[in-house]
Amino acid sequence: MTDFTPTRVTLLQRLCNNEKDDISWGEFNEAYKRYIYLLIRGMNIDHHDAEDLTQTSLLAIWENIGNFTYSPDSCKFRTWLYRIVRNKVIDHIRKANAKKNRKEDIPHVDTYSSPEVYDIAEKEWRAHVSDKAYNNIKTKFSENVLKCFDMSMKGKSTTKIHEATGISEQTIYVYKQRVKDALLQEIRLLNDKWG
């Protein structure tokens, strides 16, 4: 059996050509579901509604992806995806306002220009890929190694980490570098896979 990991471009081409098989859609969900959720949460939507809106957005993407023409020079896929999500959030807020017979501010999401929309989508994407990469590499390291790395990411100095763990400062430097190298490699792999 061939180990074939399609790139995001190949996945998008299959989905855009209405090849919405379970494998393709599963790969899409793996790459984008949490990202969509993070975008929605970034629009100040609570957890419960964000979960519902994630599903609603995925359904809209499923229904409309055949209309998306992959052309990175004219429209980035994540920008297109962000606009679908944003529209679902705006619809949700409008419906909630109508039910409650009140006027609630629609988040600032509809006032962004295209470059700002792209910047927001890219920022959330980088955070999503980094989180996924870190979760993927955790099993490769001991608890002490991860503890040192996590403490350093929280701004603790090597001296403070040494005082808290009893691990030598030189070893802490080595631990941090090993995790950093593995994390960067995993981020590159995920970016190659998902785009």
Query: CATH code at 32?
Result: 1.10.1740.10
Are residues 180 and 90 part of one domain? no
Say if residue 25's pLDDT is above 90.
no
Q: Give the whole-number percent of the chain exceeding pLDDT 90.
A: 40
Residues 91, 177 share a domain: no
CB distance 145 to 179 below 8 Å:
yes
Single residue among 100, 120, 140 that ends a domain in this structure = 140
Rounded CA gap, 14 and 65, in Å? Answer: 10
Is the pLDDT confidence value at 3 over 50? no
Q: How high is the pLDDT of residue 174?
A: 96
State the pLDDT at residue 115: 63
Domain limit, last residue, from 96, 118, 140: 140
Report residue 2's pLDDT band, with 50, 70 and 90 as the boundaries. Answer: very low
- Predicted local confidence at residue 147, as pLDDT: 95
Q: Which residue has the higher pLDDT, 193 or 164?
A: 164
In this structure, how many other beta carbons lie within 10 angstroms of the beta carbon of residue 78?
20
**Do 110 and 122 have their domain in common?**
yes
Q: Are residues 163 and 134 in the same domain?
A: no
Which pLDDT band holds residue 5 (cuts at 50, 70, 90)? very low
Examine the domain organization and report whether 168 and 114 are in the same domain: no
CATH number at residue 175: 1.10.10
- What domain range is 131 assigned to? 1-140
Residue 8: predicted pLDDT: 64
Percentage of the chain beyond pLDDT 70 is 81
* Mean predicted confidence (pLDDT) in 174-181: 96
Residue where a domain terminates, one of 107, 125, 140? 140
* Residues 182 and 147 both lie in one domain: yes
What is the number of structural domains in the chain? 2
User: Do 187 and 124 belong together in one domain?
Assistant: no
Helices (H), the chain: 8-16, 22-41, 47-64, 77-100, 114-137, 143-153, 158-165, 169-194
Same domain, 136 and 147: no
Handedness of CA 100, 106, 78, 154 (dihedral sign): negative
Q: Is residue 111 scored above 90 in pLDDT?
A: no
CB 17 within 8 A of CB 52: no
Q: What is the mean pLDDT of residues 126-135?
A: 90
Rounded Cα–Cα distance for residues 188 and 84 (Å): 27
Give the CA distances from residue 20 to residues 6, 12, 24, 132, 141, in Å, rounded to whole numbers and listed in that order.
Answer: 15, 10, 6, 24, 37
50 plus 36 within the same structural domain:
yes
DSSP letter string, 41-88: HTTT--HHHHHHHHHHHHHHHHHHGGG---BTTTB-HHHHHHHHHHHH
Q: Are 112 and 121 contacting, i.e. CB atoms less than 8 angstroms apart?
A: no
**Average pLDDT for the chain:** 82
Does residue 69 carry a pLDDT above 80?
A: no
Mean pLDDT confidence for 43-61: 92
Looking at the fold, whether 150 and 188 belong to one and the same domain comes out as yes
For residues 95 and 45, membership in a common domain is answered with yes
Q: What pLDDT sits at residue 55?
A: 95
Statement to judge: residues 162 and 126 lie in one domain: no
Crossing angle (nearest 10°) for helices 47-64 and 77-100: 130
